[in-house]
Structure 1
Amino acid sequence: MADQPRRSIKSRAAIAGHPLHPTLVHFPIACLMLVVGSDALFLYTGDTFWARCSLWLAGIGALGGWVASIAGLVDLITVRRIRELILGWSHAILAVMMLSLASLNWLWRYLHPTDLLPWAVGLTLMTAGLIVLAGIIGGMLVYDEAVGVEIDDK
């Protein structure tokens, strides 16, 4: 059987054809991954500045991630071809798990600003691991399934 030409899957949550979800996730991902470094610096130096950095990074990352997830949810719910992809559901489930951990991480830090071991650091590392997994699957959605990508028919 000959390969069928790939068709792009258009995003409904888009501005001028540019999908919002992949645009919005970069900043929250950066913030949540930087918590790993600021935690390490706090544990190494004992300087509470780094614990405050982690609190802010965790909060901004979690809040920004929930905002970005709204655009992803709109696409998952309203675009049948995305809903039919197991990768779409896997990405969404991992993202909800990751954002739940990130939110809990922020709450822990808010209530216990310098009591990071073992809970806050554990939550940070689990969040980082889920970011990697969700990012890999998100990349597969874009590069393998052409979600939100215009394909040239040349």
Structure 2
Amino acid sequence: MHNDTHRPGALRSTARIAGHPIHPMLVPFPIACFVGTLLTDIAYWRTTDIMWANFSAWLLTAGLITGALAGIVGFIDFLGNRLVRAQAPAWPHMIGNVLALVLSFFNVLVHSRDGWIAVVPTGLILSAVVVLILLVTGWLGGSLVYRHRVGVDH
């Protein structure tokens, strides 16, 4: 039986610049923003210094914007190649990242409130859940690249 996944270029990214997949270039930005949000939420919880809550709001906004860009490019790769969709980690990777963006959107709404309730406890919990989701989806994304060879030129 012939396996198309071992053909050179079979699992290439659809969204590329000069042959390089765009999705892995973009994903570090929302990850850094959402991890930063958790850290600044923790700092606000421990100090009640409003500066930390403001940082969280900005990091969430930047994370949503860059996450949406990474998600669009990742979705282009996902839809553009049926062999990518056929890899076991592809669906949970996509669904988990969409869930992280949806929760982060709600977290922006929570952080838009005034005072202590803008972060503690709901914002802090949402930030922590998003980071936990990103740990799983990052692992799955790494599996897609390093184990399943998605986006790797042979």
Tell me the distance in 2 between the aligned counterparts of 1:13 and 1:123.
31
Does residue 117 of structure 1 match 2:120? yes
Tell me the distance in 1 between the aligned counterparts of 2:109 and 2:15.
30
Correspondence for 1:12:
14
Matched position secondary structure for 2:148: coil
Tell me the distance in 2 between the aligned counterparts of 1:79 and 1:112.
45
Displacement of 1:127 in angstroms is: 0.3
Tell me the distance in 2 between the aligned counterparts of 1:110 and 1:102.
12
Mapping for residues 4-153 of structure 1, pairs under 5 Å: 6-7=6-7, 8=9, 9-112=11-114, 114-115=116-117, 116-151=119-154
Equivalences, count: 148
- Mean Cα deviation higher: 75-84 or 104-113: 104-113
CA root-mean-square deviation: 1.7
Tell me the distance in 2 between the aligned counterparts of 1:72 and 1:130.
17
Preserved CA contact (<8 Å) 2:79 2:85: yes
Amino acid of the structure 1 residue aligned with 2:102: S
Matched position secondary structure for 1:10: coil
TM-score by length of 2: 0.90
Preserved CA contact (<8 Å) 1:52 1:113: no
Preserved CA contact (<8 Å) 1:31 1:58: yes
Determine what percentage of the aligned residue pairs are the same residue.
35
Tell me the distance in 2 between the aligned counterparts of 1:62 and 1:36.
14
- Any gaps of 5 or more consecutive residues in structure 2? none
Per-residue deviation, residues 16-62 of structure 1 (Å, max 9, x unmatched): 11111111111110010011111111111111000000000011111
TM-score by length of 1: 0.90
Per-residue deviation, residues 52-75 of structure 1 (Å, max 9, x unmatched): 000000111112101110010001
Displacement of 1:6 in angstroms is: 4.2
Tell me the distance in 2 between the aligned counterparts of 1:111 and 1:18.
41
- Mean Cα deviation higher: 139-148 or 102-111: 102-111
Tell me the distance in 1 between the aligned counterparts of 2:100 and 2:71.
11
